């Protein structure tokens, strides 16, 4: 397409109008889909830390967590119902998220201090 000519400029304007109409259509459809999901009580977007979506799309506590291994003192990822070794202690991601929000709400400290506190507490 040669935009230095009158016909080329006209074609560029037609293509731009079609692209704009397509973008507006996609925007309206996306907004309608989000409104529909919210009306059903479902969250939109990525699941927050410590949660997963069930088959109907609702948020549920995640069964995942980190296991504190007594033999090494290290943490390994895993499900709450499958300890990697005898005596391992489960730290649920869902409960961790709630604990972080509780610390933030009551102590009004920032991300760095919360991270130091969590590390010190294990």
Task: For residue 3, name the pLDDT band (cuts at 50, 70, 90).
Answer: confident
Residue pLDDT, tens place only, 75-109: 898 888 888 888 888 888 999 899 999 999 988 78
* pLDDT value at residue 75: 87
| For residues 105-122, average pLDDT | 86
Token match 């290290």: residue? Answer: 74
pLDDT above 70 covers a percentage of the chain that reads 99
> Rounded to whole angstroms, how far apart are CA atoms 104 and 91?
19
Cα 119–Cα 122–Cα 70 angle in degrees, nearest 5: 140
* pLDDT value at residue 61: 92
| For residues 23-44, average pLDDT | 91
């Amino acid at each position: 397409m040669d935009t230095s000519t009158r016909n080329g400029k006209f074609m560029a304007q037609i293509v731009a109008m079609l692209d704009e109409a397509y973008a507006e259509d996609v925007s309206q459809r996306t907004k309608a889909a989000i409104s529909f999901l919210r009306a059903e009580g479902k969250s939109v977007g990525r699941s927050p830390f410590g949660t997963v979506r069930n088959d109907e799309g609702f948020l549920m506590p995640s069964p995942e967590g980190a296991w504190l291994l007594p033999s090494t003192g290290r943490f390994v990822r895993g499900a709450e119902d499958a300890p990697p070794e005898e005596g391992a202690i489960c730290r649920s991601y869902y409960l961790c998220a709630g604990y972080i929000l509780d610390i933030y709400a009551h102590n009004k400290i920032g991300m760095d201090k919360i991270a130091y506190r969590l590390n010190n507490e294990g």
